[in-house]
């Protein structure tokens, strides 16, 4: 806490971590914006394919302008070699946590959440991006200013991206299993 990364992001706290990385909350020192910054764990960042997939996630998510996809504002590598991705900071919880806490959703809520996720996927697919790991943990529930629930699709880390010549990215092998 308190460290300044890349000369502009002051670390506030750890938001969460998993098997591949950690997400922190930081403040942009020039704009005073709160952001979330995702890092790969050091042992994971040694794998060049995973680093490329991580950077592709940032580029892919940034291309999607839907209000239903978490906004990515920066991707880069620290002088230490650690790649990072700066995203909008979201307040709320993911759908997996909601389901664990309360069980079955009301039908109206379930339909609304699926429709919002579909809006994100329509735009992603129009750009040649296929998410490939859509699950409750990657659907984040936050609030719009009017207090209506807003679904944000997270984690385009294993997305398949069509190349400009119609081919597919070579970062995942044909027939390879990824995601959950």
Query: From the candidates 49, 109, 133, 165, which is the catalytic residue?
Result: 133
Distance of CA 132 to the CA centre of its chain: 13
Residue 110, pLDDT score = 96
The partner residues of 129 in beta bridges, in order of sequence, read: 161
Annotation marks residue 133 as catalytic:
yes
Cα dist from 97 to 93, 105, 128, 136, 144, whole Å: 7, 12, 30, 8, 19
Q: What is the 3-state secondary structure (H, E, C) of 128-164?
A: CEECCCCCHHHEEEEECCCCCEEEEECCCCCCEEECC
> pLDDT averaged over consecutive 10-residue blocks of the chain (180 residues)?
93 88 94 94 86 84 90 88 91 95 95 96 90 88 89 73 48 41
Residue 178, pLDDT score = 41
Residue 161, pLDDT score = 58
Are 25 and 56 within 8 A, CB to CB?
no
Residue 172, pLDDT score = 43
Residue 132, pLDDT score = 76
Residue 157, pLDDT score = 57
């Amino acid at each position: 806490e308190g460290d300044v990364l890349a000369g502009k992001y002051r670390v506030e706290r750890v938001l969460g971590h998993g098997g591949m990385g950690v997400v922190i909350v930081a403040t942009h020192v020039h704009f005073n914006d709160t952001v979330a910054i995702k890092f790969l764990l050091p042992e994971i960042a040694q794998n060049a394919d995973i680093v490329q997939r991580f950077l592709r996630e940032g580029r892919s998510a940034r291309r999607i302008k839907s209000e239903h996809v978490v906004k990515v504002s920066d991707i880069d590598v620290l002088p230490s070699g650690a790649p990072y991705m700066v995203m909008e900071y979201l307040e709320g919880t993911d759908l997996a946590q909601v389901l664990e806490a309360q069980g079955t959703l009301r039908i109206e809520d379930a339909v609304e959440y699926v429709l919002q996720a579909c809006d994100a996927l329509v735009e992603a697919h129009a750009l040649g991006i296929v998410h490939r790991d859509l699950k409750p943990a990657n659907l984040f529930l936050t609030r719009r200013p009017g207090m209506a629930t807003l679904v944000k699709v997270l984690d385009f880390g294993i997305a398949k991206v069509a190349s400009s010549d119609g081919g597919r990215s070579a970062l995942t092998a044909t027939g390879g299993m990824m995601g959950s």
